[in-house]
Structure 1
């Protein structure tokens, strides 16, 4: 649930007064500054974008301008949402899909150091699946050692970053989504987070047609800016986010309480915040067969579920031509990680029904 009309009204009146509606207006600047303050970052480390995809694209174009690394090969996990591959391809990269670690569900930088295509790689995009915390410094060490630019797709990580006082990597942009479905949302929006002030300026150029303080396009760019209206929603969301975060944690606690109250043992593991983003509850079944059985039981009770990343990027017709490594862990995880209902006003009674059907 996003902020209601009455909480938006003061910000909408500001838009009426300034008559500034987009192009990095005062509400956008306030939104960026307040987010930076909350996370303990320097002022110019947060750049708002029109969507999470635009944040990824802005980060990729900024790195391409900075590093000018030859080639167009991009290594990324196949266990992710298709937006990761779409952003890389939109920037002219050829994606090669890599298997993920069985425990973290993500790329392992130490394993990737041994990849047989590393010498030809121009970009790496690690993903934080379901908003799981990312070891930013391990990826900074990877880029320091290899010279390969890295962009971290942390689409669902903002609630973790707002509560953990995490340190950003020195030269790696982090892209975040503010889509309605995320724990912190503004309808449609994204953030590019990076310590390096030159990279943040190149990111701004990339989402501003290549312009910065002039009418000359210095780098290739497009329109990926956040409007004042979406910033208004973001500011209202920020005003009450402590309360919303508490609701996400209450939902997680209610799930675990419902499991503990059952005499039968849950035949799998339940992942909730803070181990994943608050907007997810993930049931990790012991096998793909167990996950499908659980899904059928839930459907019979009128309860919807999702295999959020499907079978991986390579299973989508638009990306089935992409080269891949052997995907043993991806095939295993994709069949076992089942998304359960999760929203801020999900009642304890409904959660009890879900858990009963699951067991």
Structure 2
């Protein structure tokens, strides 16, 4: 796998490691106290969906599907070239179209959609320190919208009341969480000595999680929870700090975390679960090991994603096994074959269904339904 990423700043979609040997970690038991998912993935199979091709090297880094008839997926084409540009594809009942974006953007890094006439995205220019745009889709056009004053955005999410949550920073040592309601931004959390908060999941206005990366392996894992009144730092019990790469919120007692341990042996990402009172950790199986068995592996990089399966479990795409898409139901792992052996850079589930959409590292689109 190519160890480079399609955008210069880290996000929950992208992280790079140097090659190294590692040892598999022991796995905690099945979900304690959580609602049990079904014993197998929802019925269906993965299939490639014809979509407009991207020029040169293309990556789809963000995807949102607010209903069964509409999909928004964005990323970059001609990646790492002087003419690299941001791209956004729309799917409607009439088919796919390419959307026009503001000039000078080179990558769309995150996409969220409340409905077919209201979607949000974070996009960057050639240097994200110099330009990061918050974009809004009004049903007809994508336009730049003012973000929190002085903040460079990293990740966004929509809560179930329509509030837009965003993590960011001013370029110094601070990290912030802001929320936009009725066109007005309010800073909800400021961390003066924190590294980037690159993952956010907003369930309801009173149930929001944010996480990111610490400055080294020594500090505690950066993870905070908002209960509607106060932010609380959540203890992550482990010998080494973790980088929280992605958070998938299903319910207050069913939250999934895709995390990377900041260990000197560069282990692969792991899947963690919060059941409302405690965490369990679940090792992601390698491509050739029997499901559930722990063996040594080799790490060459990371890019991947997770998404709810609609029945309490999750789908996982990992570069350590591009020949499979993995499903975890809270107790056991199963494997399914993707249309092409590449990594899913972005995954999302259509609300109230078990349909999952994927944007890949080669700019193609998959669906499981």
> Shorter-chain TM-score: which interval?
under 0.3
* Bigger Rg over Cα: 1
Q: Could you say which structure has the higher helix fraction?
A: 1
TM-score by length of 1: 0.28
TM-score by length of 2: 0.27
Q: Could you say which structure has the higher strand fraction?
A: 2
